[in-house]
Each structure stands twice: as structure tokens, then as C-alpha cells.
Amino acid sequence: MDLRPAGVGGEGLQVGAVEESIKGEGGQKKRRQEEDEEETTSTKKQMTDHGVKVATHYNSLQEVGLAVRSRSRIFFMRNFNNWLKSVLIGEILEQVQDAGARQISVLDLGCGKGGDLLKWRRGGISHLVCADIAAVSVEQCQSRYEEMKKKSRINEKIFSAQFITTDCAKEVLSEKLDDPELMFDICSCQFVYHYSFESEQKADMMLRNACERLKPGGFFIGTTPDAFELVKRLEASDCLSFGNEVFKVTFQSKGSYPLFGCQYHFSLEDVVNVPEFLVYFPLLEHMAKRYNMHLVSKQRFSEFFEKKVKNEHHRSLMMKMMALEPFPTEDGGQPASDSSREYNHAKEHYGKAEVKVPLGTLSRSEWEAASIYLVFVFQKKA
């Protein structure tokens, strides 16, 4: 199968102009301060209930089985995101093991319903702490873990685990650990960090929780929307929103983007429908230095995909996880979208002598959604 999501290898990113518009012109500190103060007052109201909104939203999401999931319009995109997390987690675990760690402890910050439990099991870790603001999600995560333990092979040692329901952008997590001495090899924060960029205090608390208990040489890894990409698309739109048949992003204004509290509404099929905040990455990188963290890598999903797919092992995992949609569909199956325009990019490649069929692809709309995100890896200085 030839692996080629829509847009991969296409247009380059021009973030320079966008970066300027996020940072503001001329560095007029005083004006910035005044704006920040205004912003703080105007966002105060949102601040009181944003965590509640997020928790309520994620608590209300129904856990659905594979049969329902496979009929979802974004089935392949979700698998693609999951593949990407698997590759990232697998590679970081390998690095930790290569550095000599035998008993690996992990913090899953914003664990949700436990979508990554199997990845931690496969990685042979010893201990996992799962934390999330949404109580129902944490309960489901814990039951999934118990179920996993029950069904494990007799001589397989499953990691021990602790489950914590808390707002990680407000509360100090280390005070809630069963083992007050516990230090982590890895903190994984997948599709979560952007909820904390509501204010400097919240973004910093989330970062503190991610990093303060990391061992020297430990990793803070994650995925989050790329602010440059979001602003680039917003600026290209003739209104305050952009999107397609699977997702929609709506800002409240454009032209100026505060460093914290720059809220937009994100909806994605039946999975996400909640306010989020721009994460201006250079600022996160700067803030992380307070915790002795340095940035190892930051890549857009497209870059990450292009690199990793060259590896045979990652390629075969991609097939196993059905992370791309076969084009044309096999055995009379239905494509994720009925609109043939969604597959124009695949049609262009189909039929070329060097291309193996079926192609592996994502529909254009799914790729436009997935390609908003970036993957980051920070490491604590030894």
C-alpha cells in the first residue's frame, strides 16, 4: 500500500507573518500590559467556568464500541492520531530504556478514558499515574485498567496504577500522589495542554505538574494544536471561522492574539465540542525553562508522519491500526466520505506506475483537521 494522506508533501508552512501577528507589532510593552490587564478582566468570567465546561463536555461523551467507532466519519483520522501517539510513546520508552531505566514510571496528564493504557502495557512500564479533570473519564479509565489486568496472561506483570480526578491546571498533583517520593521517567500530555492556556497561572500549573516530578533526563511529551497553523487558517478565512465537513474552529475576533486566554471554539464530529486556547509555542518553550526543560523536538503531524512512515516497523503498525483509509475501497466497502472531491489527491496518484494499490490515505477533510496539530518532546536537563 502506498501511504499518502492528503496534502502531505504539499505546501510549505509560512509562519513568519503569522508569528508576527501572534506576538504583536513593535514590542510596545506598555500597550501589551494594558491589553493583558483588559484581557484578564474580560476573561475572568470565562476562567471561573472553563474547567467545568471541559469536564462536563468530556464526562458526557459516551464510550462506544468498535462497531460504532468504525462507522464514524473520522474513524481513520482517529486511528491516525492513535498511531502517531503509539510511535511517539514507543520511541520515548525506547530512549528511556536505552538510558538504563528498568522500572519506568509514567504520568498520563489528561488521560481521558485511558486511550493510551495499551501503549503503556506494550511498553512494559512499572507504574502509571492517570490524572484528568473529568471524573467519569477517570472512572472509565480505571475500569479499563482493571479489565486489562483481569484479562492479562498469567505470567504477564501489568503495571501498578493510581487514578486522580483533579484540575491539573489548578491543583498541585504531587500532593495527591500515593507515593510522595515518586518521580517519573515520562509525562505524556496528549491533546490536553491547550486547555490550560487560558491564563499564565493555569498554563504554568499544568507545566509544573508535567515537569516537577520528572527525573533528570526525563521526558515531557505531547500533542497540541499549532497556534501558527490555526491563525494562518483564520487569517485566510473571510469570517471568524474555518473548517469543513468534519471540524470547525471559531474565533471571537482576529488580527490580534493575546499570549494567554486566546479562546476559540473547536468542534470535531461527535468527539469534541468545547472552547480551547491558542498555545503560542515559543512561549511554552520559554516557560518550560523554569522547570529545567529543554525542547528536543517539535514537529507538525505532517512532518512527523513523513519521517516515521519510512520506518518499516512504524509502517506495519500503521496498517495494523488502520491509520489510513484504503483507496479505492476494498471488497465493496464504503469510503469515509461519499464526496469524490475528498479523494482527488489520491486519484492523482492512483494509476501511476510506481504506486502500489490500494493507496493509504485520509479524506481531505480529515487531513485538514489532523494537520492542525503538532507533536512535542521536552527533556529535563540531567
Please say which residue, 277 or 280, places its beta carbon nearer to ligand SAM: 277
* Residues contacting residue 169 through CB under 8 Å, at least 6 positions apart: 51, 133, 195, 196, 198, 202, 203, 205, 206
The 3-state secondary structure of 218-265 reads EEEEEEEECHHHHHHHHHHCCCCEEECCCEEEEECCCCCCCCCCCEEE
Please identify the residue of the shown chain whose CB is closest to the bound ligand SAM.
112
Q: How far is the CB of 353 from ligand SAM (least distance, A)?
A: 40
Q: Which cell numbers in the block locate residue 345?
A: 489527491
Task: Check the annotation: does 331 bind a ligand.
Answer: no
Q: How far is the CB of 82 from ligand SAM (least distance, A)?
A: 8
Verify binding: residue 249, ligand SAM, rule CB under 6 A: no
Sign of CA dihedral 358, 361, 363, 366: positive
Verify binding: residue 145, ligand SAM, rule CB under 6 A: no
Using the contact rule CB under 6 A, the part of the chain among 90-98, 133-141, 281-289, 315-323 near ligand SAM is 133-141
Check residue 74 and report its DSSP letter: T
- Phi and psi for 199 in degrees, rounded to 5? -150, 165
Task: Check the annotation: does 26 bind a ligand.
Answer: no
Please say which residue, 305 or 373, places its beta carbon nearer to ligand SAM: 373
Name residue, grid cell 509525562: 187
Check residue 339 and report its DSSP letter: -
Q: Which residues of 195-213 are buried (b: 16+ CB within 10 A; e: fewer)?
A: bbbbbeebbbbbbbbbbbb
Dist CA 165 CA 256 (whole Å): 35
What mask of x and - would describe binding to ligand SAM in positions 185 to 204, judged by CB under 6 A? -----xxx--xx--------
126, 160 contact by CB (below 8 A):
yes
Out of 6, 8, 18, 54, which residue is the one contacting ligand SAM (CB under 6 A)? Answer: 54
Verify binding: residue 51, ligand SAM, rule CB under 6 A: yes
Q: How far is the CB of 255 from ligand SAM (least distance, A)?
A: 28
* Residues contacting residue 291 through CB under 8 Å, at least 6 positions apart: 207, 208, 210, 211, 212, 214, 380
Verify binding: residue 169, ligand SAM, rule CB under 6 A: yes
Task: Check the annotation: does 244 bind a ligand.
Answer: no
Across-strand partners of 242? 249
Task: Check the annotation: does 292 bind a ligand.
Answer: no
Please say which residue, 223 or 361, places its beta carbon nearer to ligand SAM: 223
Dist CA 118 CA 124 (whole Å): 10
Q: How far is the CB of 85 from ligand SAM (least distance, A)?
A: 6
Using the contact rule CB under 6 A, the part of the chain among 21-29, 161-169, 237-245, 248-256 near ligand SAM is 161-169
Please say which residue, 199 or 302, places its beta carbon nearer to ligand SAM: 199
* Residues contacting residue 18 through CB under 8 Å, at least 6 positions apart: 228, 231, 232, 235
Verify binding: residue 279, ligand SAM, rule CB under 6 A: no
Task: Check the annotation: does 59 bind a ligand.
Answer: no
What mask of x and - would describe binding to ligand SAM in positions 74 to 113, judged by CB under 6 A? ------------------------------------xxx-
Taking each helix axis from N to C end, the angle separating 135-150 and 29-60, rounded to the nearest 10 degrees, works out to 50
Q: Which residues of this chain interact with ligand SAM, rule CB under 6 A?
A: 51, 54-55, 58, 110-112, 115, 132-134, 137, 167-169, 190-192, 195-196
- Binding positions are 81-82, 85, 110, 132, 167, 190, 195
- Binding positions for mRNA are 81-82
